[in-house]
Chain A
Amino acid sequence: MSLIDQTATELLAALSSGRLSSVEVTGAFLDQIESHDSKVRAFLRVDAEAALARAEQIDRHRKNGKPLGRLGGLPVAVKDLLCTAGEPTTCASRILEDFRSPYDATVIARLKAADAVLIGRTNMDEFAMGGSCESSAFGPTHNPWDLGRIPGGSSGGAAACVAAGMAPLSVGTDTGGSIRCPAALCGVTGMKPTYGRVSRYGLVAFASSLDQIGPIARTAEDAALLLEVLAGHDPLDSTSIDLPVPRYSETIGQPLEGLRIGLVPEHFGEGLDAEVEAAVREAVRVYRSLGAAVSEVSMPHSKYAVATYYIIAPCEASSNLARYDGVHYGYRTDQIQMMAELEAQRKELQQAGDDAALEELDNALIRMYRRSRAEGFGPEVKRRIMLGTYALSAGYYEAYYKKALKVRRLIRQDFDRAFDGVDLILGPVCPTPAYKIGEKVDDPLSMYLFDLYTVSTNLAGIGGISIPCGISSDGLPIGLHLQAPTFEEERLLRGAHMFQKATDWHLSSSFAHISTVFEAVARRFCWSVQRAGLAVDPLGPTRGALSPPS
């Protein structure tokens, strides 16, 4: 068995026993990245030398008998919106292309402390806004199962790299399905923990009340291992919950006795692909054969979930993204050109004697804001900023945001009632398998509807996991969605593991579908190009002056 075919749990056992070194493991995944990622484009950045140096250091510590962290030398890929001190954190956006964070996100600090080897930064939809990874300013990630198709999003790179054997473990974020959707479309296991389970400190916010960090891996067992490292209270995040973190990896082998499964009839209606439905129903049959009781639970408000989500998330996003204004860091428009244009317009209006228009002319500051943001953000991000700004405006707040908050409470109540009678809610993750790249680019509404089954998990603040449960006639993976009450990650993982013990969908390999092309990795690392003189020194004081680029 090739090294990259092994699960993280197997690799960790080999590392701990000394059968494998971290350098060997890291090297194997780096080789896979180098040989295949020019096709998949899961990564925005890979620093092979730094990863190997870190692996070597961990190997040395192990050899010297120094106690190692939980991940003792395992490579972990990180979605490019988790701040890492001194390194770029681009959020797949032009506006942060040259941004270097001055600090580590809490999960990055935890991964470092757990002796993970941070192997690279994965591609995503710009600011995590999207479900296909196509809105990345640096080009889409391709689904390893079919390079013409999307990997899902927004954590598309994070799921694709695990599916393609480029990393055993990967960290993503999920605001409305951004971990579970790509996990389903790429045939891997991905979990969105309960809101507050994992610290958001250093996660570049999209929608603060919905964002949550979670693990992506080959198996539920591997996800359990990674979640153990990520989860836990953080005094730097007021919304993180102070509850002890169970040892998920120790209890995962215990099947759920007397498991009661709920199915939401509303989730098996119009729009659901027949093959996806068949795979999910087959999965339910598997659970039944394992002793689970299955019943229907009603979620009367689930039909409002997408509408509610597309009010709340853009509202919060419009405020969260206000800081990218070209003043303190990030992309700023070419000021010399901007000032020249402003001067020319002013002169023209003066000559024409058009005082009214002259009065209306934006001053340099407003113009700088407008141009920097217009040039720095992509269309999907702009769309959501506009949606949110509109919905929060005076006179609309009550009709949109406030009403959406009320519906959000009703959705949560639906879940609370449902979980009175069942332990897990099962259903599809996405309505169809992966669609073709470009297929929905001009139809944002149909893209939003793709989140139909996942957004209510985030609105309710509960946990959900996506596990592979079938392969379509086109050879594309299908995901099964498990949802549990708040802080029942252990139940989700044990439930998922039960299924994975009984089936082998999660072991199906996408590798056969990737043609082997050897191409130098370094060629595509565009991130280091300095643009418009916007270098930010994260250690120096904030640059305050509105000075022209040097």
Chain B
Amino acid sequence: MNPKQPPSLATWMLEHLVPGERNEALDGDLLEEFHCGRSTVWYWRQALAAIAIGCLREILIHRTALLFAALWSMLAPAWLLIVANIEQHYNLGQRFWQMDWPWSTLCDLGLLLGVNVLFIWIGIVLYLLPDLWVAKSLGLWRIGKGILASLPVLFALWLALIVLSKIFLTGQVVDQHSVAPASTYSIGDVAPIEIQQPSPAEQWDVQYGDKVTDPYINPRNAILDMRTTTLFVRLPFFLCLLCTLWGISSHSQGRRSRIIA
């Protein structure tokens, strides 16, 4: 390597991995110092520090979106559980399968997608509502933009997580207590782990019978459920909300937070 040139990988990382607006003055300063005799190690340290500082600054700017996405995605298992109960109550699954193809598949997929997308959309609207109400800075088009932007993000995440779950979770066996909520949460087949399905009668007894024997089956416990499988179910909701809110709030909230910070 030419000693007069800084490490090309570090330069590339500096130019491409520092989030936010590009700071060419910083790139130039590091280059100037390097040419004045600073070491390669120094250049690497500075480049990595600049990336870390840039990431931290972006997180601080979008901390509200981050916190909201984390809190809202905590509710996802409870939402899926409630929807699954409604689905079971009206026996929607069986009704769909009695339809002719492709209506059976379309209705089943429609319900699956609708349930997940609706949860994200409610989150987006709730997040943007205070801004719309107080600051009047966000129009309805902005909410619409967020809602539309969430769709490709969610589908991409689903696809990625289904592939990942196939790779990492296949063959895992869970205990009896995990069966009901895990199977209920995995409405999107996000975590297709090998589980022993209880019979419909058993499910009915547990969920609707007088004696509720499984303490996991209620929305409150679903929210508090911190098992790996449940966290995995929350992940696409969290990432989708975070990406969408991050994108749509980067201009309005970002500017304000930068000033406050």
- Same complex: no
B residues contacting A by CB (< 8 A) are none
